[in-house]
Amino acid sequence: MIRPAAPADHPALARLFREMQAYYAVSCPGPDEIEASLAGRPAGTEILVAEEGTDLAGFAAFSAIYPGPGLAGGLFLKELFVGGRHRGAGHGRALVRAVAGQAVARGLTRVDWTADAGKPELLAFYEGLGAAQKPDKVFFRLDGEGLARLGGGSAATSRASEQ
């Protein structure tokens, strides 16, 4: 069953987030910090969960984006993850289908996401859903020192004084 995440899901989501971070071999905060982050996540961020019995099998986190081609809106699927013991049972497909259903129901024209280029099984999964890679686009990220340098210095101060 796919449904919107509720605050009562935060402990189980924190476990899935930790498993996801380990899967991608990246650092992860502790469970309390993850739960606090879930409770205070940015407005407009939505999470759907896949249940298998009483267990959360996976989740999809997404938000609206605008504008897109033809000045239409869409959804950006930030994370899709199914726990290891639940993979292969159709939860990932059901979650993506639910996100696509949200886009269609809202009159949006697309769902975009990124994928780890080093995981061919993941790319094959997405292509099997009917998704197409967009090699004409390049993914950029501004974080860490670059974000602090660009967003924290005189540019931010000068923008505030212009308003």
Dihedral angle sign, alpha carbons of residues 95, 110, 78, 159: negative
pLDDT-derived band at 68 (thresholds 50, 70, 90) equals: confident
Question: How far is it, in rounded angstroms, from Cα 32 to Cα 26?
Answer: 18
Question: How far is it, in rounded angstroms, from Cα 22 to Cα 24?
Answer: 5
Residue in 34, 38, 36 with CA at minimum distance from that of residue 6: 38
Q: What's the mean per-residue pLDDT of the chain?
A: 91
Question: How far is it, in rounded angstroms, from Cα 99 to Cα 45?
Answer: 12
Question: How far is it, in rounded angstroms, from Cα 157 to Cα 110?
Answer: 36
Question: How far is it, in rounded angstroms, from Cα 94 to Cα 50?
Answer: 8
- pLDDT per residue over 71-93, tens digit each? 999 999 999 999 999 999 999 99
Retrieve residue 132's tokens.
């197409």
Contact 138, 146 (CB under 8 A): no
- Structural domains of the chain ordered from first start: 2-134 (3.40.630.30)
Average pLDDT (86-105) is 97
Q: Which residue has the higher pLDDT, 100 or 152?
A: 100
Alpha helices in the chain (DSSP H): 10-23, 31-39, 91-105, 120-128, 144-152, 154-162
Question: How far is it, in rounded angstroms, from Cα 97 to Cα 72?
Answer: 20
Q: Residue 26: which region, alpha, beta or left (left: phi > 0; alpha: psi -120 to 50)? A: beta
Contact 78, 48 (CB under 8 A): no
